[in-house]
Structure 1
Amino acid sequence: MLITRETDYALRILRALADGERHNVKELCESEAVPLQFAYKILRKLTEAGIVKSVRGVNGGTELTADLSRLTLLDVIRITESDSYISDCMSPGYHCTWSAKNCRKCTIHSRLCGIQQKLDHELAKLSIRDLLKTGPDTTKSAPPRHLN
């Protein structure tokens, strides 16, 4: 699982809507640097999930309907992404050819499931309201580690 461009854009849209005001799609796209084609797709998903609502007419636009302190990063990922697993083998209906061939449980799958559970737990603890809070950065940015 990655924070994909679509999830990133959804978070940007939610940031713009967090002020409680109604915004038209053009304003959202301009203020949050979200391409129009992505904005419509994401807003449709957020509307279907009950996070935002669209109002038609002269003073129409999109407004937030969800409480961002109750909406988590995991919720947004699951709304925007069709697959929120770190490995395809965790997807419902996945058929593991290795397990079938070797007639035993895959230890790699078991370990990845544990990691997935920990990741989901951490993502579920972070509300969008907390994610959007401004203030001193409490995380140290370390360069990514790569295996050589």
Structure 2
Amino acid sequence: MTVIFSKKCEYGLQAVLYMSAKGNDCVCPAEEISKKLKIPKEFVSKILQNLTESGIVDSKKGKSGGFMLAKDPSKIRLIDIVAAIDGLDLFNSCVLGFPSC
């Protein structure tokens, strides 16, 4: 079986889906996302930092801080999340592993 997305990307997709299910106004601490998705907190934090740098997620510091979606969930495309975490190089090569398809 060919793996298209990295585990990091899969977790990023899950985190964005989790936050969109919580609602636009919800600020989700990395620890909450980590527990709900059963992903190590440090890994979740790193993934969310990548998504923050790309403008998909926003962060709020402080005691009541955490992460929230930076835009409406209907405006977030799957390809944007993949590009933020894995990059788009995987779409420039053959899925079967050949030099050219």
Tell me the CA shift for residue 53 of structure 1.
Answer: 1.1
Tell me the CA shift for residue 39 of structure 1.
Answer: 0.9
1:60 to 65, 71, 77: 65
Q: Give the letter aligned to residue 4 of structure 1.
A: S
1:34 to 6, 28, 39: 39
Q: How many residues align?
A: 91
- Tell me what 2:14 maps to: 12
Q: What residue ranges of structure 2 are gaps of 5+ in the alignment?
A: none
- Tell me what 1:142 maps to: none
SS in 2 for 1:69: helix
RCO (CA 8 Å, sep 6+): is it higher in 1 or 2? 2
- TM-score normalised by structure 2 residue count: 0.77
Tell me the CA shift for residue 55 of structure 1.
Answer: 0.7
Q: What residue ranges of structure 1 are gaps of 5+ in the alignment?
A: 89-107, 113-148
SS in 1 for 2:5: coil
- TM-score normalised by structure 1 residue count: 0.55
The 8 Å contact of residues 78 and 84 in structure 1, kept in 2 or not, is answered as no
| Structure (1 or 2) with the larger CA radius of gyration | 1
The 8 Å contact of residues 5 and 86 in structure 2, kept in 1 or not, is answered as no
Q: Give the letter aligned to residue 74 of structure 1.
A: I
Q: Give the letter aligned to residue 47 of structure 1.
A: T
* 1:126-137 matched pairs, under 5 angstroms: none
Tell me the CA shift for residue 86 of structure 1.
Answer: 5.7
Alpha-carbon distance in 2 for matches of 1:58, 1:71: 28
The 8 Å contact of residues 29 and 35 in structure 1, kept in 2 or not, is answered as yes
CA RMSD of aligned residues (A): 1.9
1:37–1:58 distance in 2 versus 1, CA, 3 Å? closer
